Structure 1
Amino acid sequence: MGATVKKLASGARDDSREAFAEGLGTFILVFAGTGAVMVNQISGGSVTHLGVSFVFGAVVAAMIYAIGHISGAHFNPAVTLGFWASGFFPKYKVLPYVLAQCAGAIAASQVLLISLGKVANLGATVPLNGNWLQSLILETVLTFILMIVILGSGLDRRAHIGFAGIAIGLTVGLEAAFMGPITGASMNPARSLGPALIGGIWEHHWVYWVAPIWGAQLAVAVYRELSNGFRDFN
């Protein structure tokens, strides 16, 4: 009986550590990425759009290598739901992960507001010219591409070991570079929630939940076919 209690307590601690790691990683992602957007405006464009894109990609890669061995480095509710749909993530961990990711993003936006002020909409993502349908389609495709890269480089046993962080980071940076001016290239509901909540900017915010989740789920369905029903992952 005592051994069982100890095992359950140890499992609970592990789950808490994983959720905390997700919150921490998402905090750093949003702090660096949206912080770069804000500093770019404060400094009169010294960071540049490509610089902001690089920061987003680089911080994602860094966090994958720093925290991936603890939590799996999701940092994104759409990715967590994608892993759950693929069968590689247990259902009971989904809500703690999503809540931790959202809390980390919100905390990062609050720190940025306190330290830099309410500039550049805190890096909030809004559709260009209010065209929500355009952003809905593009964010779905962007997240589909990102999730394909995550599955292919991070989980498929046929992939080269150790390159997932680079591949995923490059994908985030690439997509931010060429679609950021249109949609904000969020691909991440938590990343969009932080600035929206703290800055009070809710214009078509639902797009940045629906599209990434759709895109990730579509990628899971497609990669299931590419990997022989995920049997090539084992």
Structure 2
Amino acid sequence: MAEINGGDSTATATDDRHAVTLNIEDQTHTTCCCPSVSFIQKLIAEVLGTYFVIFAGCGAVVVNTDKDKVIGLPGISIVWGLVVMVMVYSVGHISGAHFNPAVTIAFASCNRFPLKQVPAYVTSQVLGSTLASGTLRLIFNGTQDHFAGTLPAGSDIQSLVLEFVITFYLMFVISGVATDNRAIGELAGLAVGATVLLNVMFAGAISGASMNPARSLGPAIVSREYRGIWVYMLGPTAGAISGAWVYNIIRFTDKPLREITKSASFLRYASTRNRSK
């Protein structure tokens, strides 16, 4: 969900210069029809990361439904936020911790992720989500079998607009904390997890607060429940792309803040004036 590592050929949370080295490394494998070991490791990290995110988040939803709302919406929100944060810190340095096809597509649209790797990443994310949903279906079967996916509580348009807005918000935060080297990259996981928590808290009761096509598609495949699925394919994808591009518009420079302050003429003038006094 967050691009915090130097493992992708994209911008990193701490130093965008790493992307140059990784671009060169990726190009060395273009003549081979077999994927590199490092790329396979990234895909495995995406499968596992998405699996645990969906298992914990959807598991909270299922337990809450089965046990008379014992967890509640605030509890579900906390679970989603914490599991995203934990998995970002766990495998972010390996795969970038996308866990979300909308995030991967948004990064690719801004040239911050190789377009040719998008299908493999998306497939891995959907696979992880489907496996997690299948595991929950096996654990909670019979009378405990509850749909862990997302369904619009109101109209499809209402949920579509809400999914667009909250995913825009999420991707805007991701772009700020995880791709801008002026931000504090070590806090990327915390910021992204907190954003997920906030979005689930106020949007969960209306649209399910998916923000992630894989999160909705996995349970839908396992339960064969596809009502309103287009909402969760279109809304988050469009929202993520828009959020990434809007942040790129306000990203006026790629220089770190310390370099901006050193080169700012008004700061140099103020410093010179103070020394003269």
Kindly state the Cα deviation for residue 8 of structure 1 after the two structures are TM-superposed: 5.4
Structure 1: runs of 5 or more not aligned: none
Kindly state the Cα deviation for residue 76 of structure 1 after the two structures are TM-superposed: 0.1
Show the 5 A alignment for 1:59-208. Answer: 59-117=83-141, 119=144, 121-129=146-154, 131-208=155-232
Q: What secondary structure is seen at the aligned counterpart in 2 of 1:61?
A: helix
Query: Does structure 1 residue 231 correspond to structure 2 residue 242?
Result: no
Query: Does structure 1 residue 52 correspond to structure 2 residue 66?
Result: no
Amino acid across the alignment from 2:236: P
Query: Does structure 1 residue 212 correspond to structure 2 residue 236?
Result: yes
Kindly state the Cα deviation for residue 122 of structure 1 after the two structures are TM-superposed: 2.9
- Give the root-mean-square deviation of aligned CA atoms: 2.0
The 1:17/1:115 distance shift into structure 2, 3 A limit, reads same
> How far apart, in 1, do the equivalents of 2:106 and 2:145 lie?
31
1:70-89 per-position Cα deviation (integer Å, ceiling 9, x unaligned): 00000000000011011110
Contact 1:62 1:165 in 2 (8 A): yes
Kindly state the Cα deviation for residue 203 of structure 1 after the two structures are TM-superposed: 0.8
Kindly state the Cα deviation for residue 161 of structure 1 after the two structures are TM-superposed: 2.7
User: Which of 28, 46, 52 in structure 2 is aligned with 1:22?
Assistant: 46
Kindly state the Cα deviation for residue 120 of structure 1 after the two structures are TM-superposed: 6.8
> How far apart, in 2, do the equivalents of 1:175 and 1:127 lie?
15
> How far apart, in 2, do the equivalents of 1:99 and 1:122 lie?
22
Contact 2:66 2:146 in 1 (8 A): no
Hey, which bits of structure 1, 4+ residues long, moved more than 2 A? 7-11, 118-122, 230-234
Structure 2: runs of 5 or more not aligned: 1-27, 258-277
Which residue in 2 is equivalent to 1:37?
61
> How far apart, in 1, do the equivalents of 2:175 and 2:146 lie?
33
Amino acid across the alignment from 2:254: R
> How far apart, in 2, do the equivalents of 1:216 and 1:206 lie?
16
Q: What secondary structure is seen at the aligned counterpart in 2 of 1:23?
A: helix
Aligned length: 228
Contact 1:227 1:233 in 2 (8 A): no
Contact 1:127 1:135 in 2 (8 A): yes
Contact 2:180 2:254 in 1 (8 A): no
> How far apart, in 2, do the equivalents of 1:32 and 1:14 lie?
27
The 1:16/1:127 distance shift into structure 2, 3 A limit, reads same
Counting helix residues as a fraction of each chain, which structure ranks higher? 1
The 1:35/1:133 distance shift into structure 2, 3 A limit, reads same
What percentage of residue pairs aligned between the two structures are identical?
42
> How far apart, in 1, do the equivalents of 2:112 and 2:255 lie?
13
Q: What secondary structure is seen at the aligned counterpart in 2 of 1:26?
A: helix
